[in-house]
Structure 1
Amino acid sequence: MKLIHRLFTICLFTASFDIFLAFKLGGTVRIAQLIMVLVCFGALAKAAQEGRIWWPRGGWWLALWCFVQVLFLPLSVDFGFSLGYLLFLLFTAAGFYAVAHLYARSCYIEPLMKAYLCSYVFVAAFGIFQLVSPILHLGDFLVVQWIVGKRWPRINGFSYEPSYFATYLIMGWIALVDLRYSKAHLTAARKWFWLTIFVGAVLFLSTSKTGWIFMAVEGVVRAVPYVIRWGRRMGTRLSAGSLIFTLPRWKLVVLSVTGSILLLAGVVALGLAVNLNILLSGTGLNHTASHSVSDRYDGFIETVQVFEEHPFLGRSLGGVSSRIAQLHGVPNDGKTYLGFPVIMDLLAASGLIGIIPFLMFIWVNSFGMFGLIRKRWPDERAKWLRALVRALFYESFMLLADQNVLRLYVWFHLSIIAAVALHLRYEDQDCNREKPLMLAV
């Protein structure tokens, strides 16, 4: 199990690798996928040794959805391409089952969570390195877009572009924020406070507009309970005829004012040095080009058109992009004409009935986890599970503005949710530092 855990840790650290350690083997194959072959064999060996399989919640729904994709494969206009896509789906699903089984009652569940969080810190650290390297004349590393040519890059990490980078990093940041909020032992050390801020700062610096929106949403969600409580206290005092207000400490006032002035000065200086419209490029705002919005809108209309052709019988996952490419009269390269957004792509691929198993699978691994979380709270693993589920919510909303449901890091996240849920349900021992697990695997 120790070796398999190390292999899967490498998978987590390389899950976002789109343009590094990615190979053309009849399609893009990432290093994490190659290593997952060994992880899956490890899960099979463990199942054979123990004589049992730990089946994750929602596992039957996922199996049924995969079966639906097999049934709809003949409806694709490009059978060969869609077959390859189907095999990719089946292998991804196999990885989900493998990870859930491996960690279901393993003493490596806490190291798994630590490794998962550290993987986001690792990618964020590379993002900062990517940002400052051109400024320090150290060269550029995997940069795909620039704000100021060859001087100021947009952070894309190991991903295709900044929006993909933000779609990946948002899950780690949300999970870290929630773990800190719930006072989980896993992130109780002071270093995790700074690492959470660090990951959030890198996410902001990626200049992904979608990332900014959901960072603001999380800020509002976290602030609302405090505002409500403050309002109730003030209302109680006023109703009692008391007008006494607690003034903030002078240090907090000084720091807030100083920080606001420095931030404003930085924005003004940046605006004088650089045309900030670059940050709005692709949105159509302030007379900038609207190519990003236009491309997404066109992709949505084309995906709707494919869905309307077969509303009850889907085209299969690979069949959607194949049909869109056919509408354009060009071969499908698997990149240019993907269905958009993810939910519409799934609907066109699965049909109105075929999409139900997938939606049930997501429901069970999101809203369906809250009953278990409430039942076992404040168990440390319940805090992990809530953080992971909240991160999945944000990722799901991010994918409403993006493509491709078969992103490796999304399925790794789902598999860790399934593993933690199994461990929380069937392993009685808590995973707090004060009570380390003694289960032998």
Structure 2
Amino acid sequence: MARDFNVNVQDPSHAHYPHLRTFCSDFDLRNVVTSPTKFPNATTIDLALISSSSSTTSTARPGSDELIYKDCNVIPCAISDHQLVRVTYTIHATTSTLKTNRQVQVRKPPLRTLKIKRFQETAAKHMSTLHQQITRSSSQMSLDSYTEHWQDAVSDALNEYCPLKTVNAKKSYTPSPWIDDELRQTLFKRKRAHCAMIKRPDRPDLLQQFRTLRRQCKLLTRKKRSTYFQQQLINHRNHPREQWSVMNNLLGRIKINREPAAEVADITKTFTAVVNDTSLSGSTLRTPNGPLSEYSLTQFTPVTVPQVQLHIQRMNSRKATGHDNIPAQAYKLINDEIAPSLAKLFTMSLTSGDFPSTYKLANVRPIYKRGDKSVPSNYRPISILSHMSKLLEHIVHDQLMYYIYNAPPPLVPLPAEQFAYRRGHSCEDLLTPVINDWMLSLDKGD
């Protein structure tokens, strides 16, 4: 705290000196100005108060930056009867206030710049090497071993052109929705005029051009923003919730939760405790009456190459990658090269009745639910599986659904009245025949 207190600290008999002393004692402060600051009376009334808890350090609050006091000097000033007071200190950032960039692993160069033909040839070479390695093996390779070798072959082929590199994560930038091409071009012209003005400060016409474009940008931005929010309110006139959301966004009343997030170690401990809870493992599965063999699927059909190729083409390229860090787009580029070996792998899994251990691994991410962000229990976990794990699940799902729709005796196919858990069947499809039956019954007087 530095200002003109109008209290001469060199004169204890000053009327307000006891009040200043009490104030410094209550808030643990001390004065570091010892030389006179006002002439010709040579009084010290311009003071600089710092924390007196330490001789050299002053900390504002726990977790904030630390101010390290160095010295204090009084500099003569010719334009006033008060002298200049210079207090020198340095700022030492504590561990809690240091900004650490979040690091992520990305493919460099990006996958979109990949030379597809060379990548496909490399993948075919690695698949051929894997096939030869399996052929030369004296004993039959286990499912887990085959899965790991196959995954390593695809990773090696991809790392030759797009290796994984650790970089600092960049903050995503979302432009304002009311910025269109017209406003964007005007902003670009203003930027160019500003650069020209800086390079040629001796030309007043460039300054006037920049001021004109700046005024145009201001007016055009105001007009575009007003038009955007008016249109949003019109579009949501029948939806009060959306209208209030638009109005809050317009008025700047968006809630920003500034609470500190929970530590990763605490969240991990909470998730692990839930998984290891023995009270949740006592549930039993209900089995139908009668021999289970009459109701079970005795065996799966072998997986064909066209089935694998079809499912790879249907993969969503925007989904996050699993622990193998192989994106879906990479599988699509080498679809023809990996489909035969992948069909063999899936057939081995269905024949043996085992699910590859590698496909059981997942990246667990905490998703904030509600409440205090510093409480680990206010997060829920989601598991990000690898693309091949989900691909095998889709193939098993197709075979199970085909078995259910074409069930052999003593089972019967799903009746037409079954609407739950069926693709292409919704509540509207169920309500249509039900309401029709009700209307017929009312007409008959039932």
TM-score interval, smaller chain: under 0.3
Of Structure 1 and Structure 2, the greater helix share is in 1
Of Structure 1 and Structure 2, the greater strand share is in 2
Structure number with greater Rg is 2
**Greater relative contact order (Cα 8 A, min sep 6): structure 1 or 2?**
1
Superposition TM-score, scaled by structure 1 size:
0.18
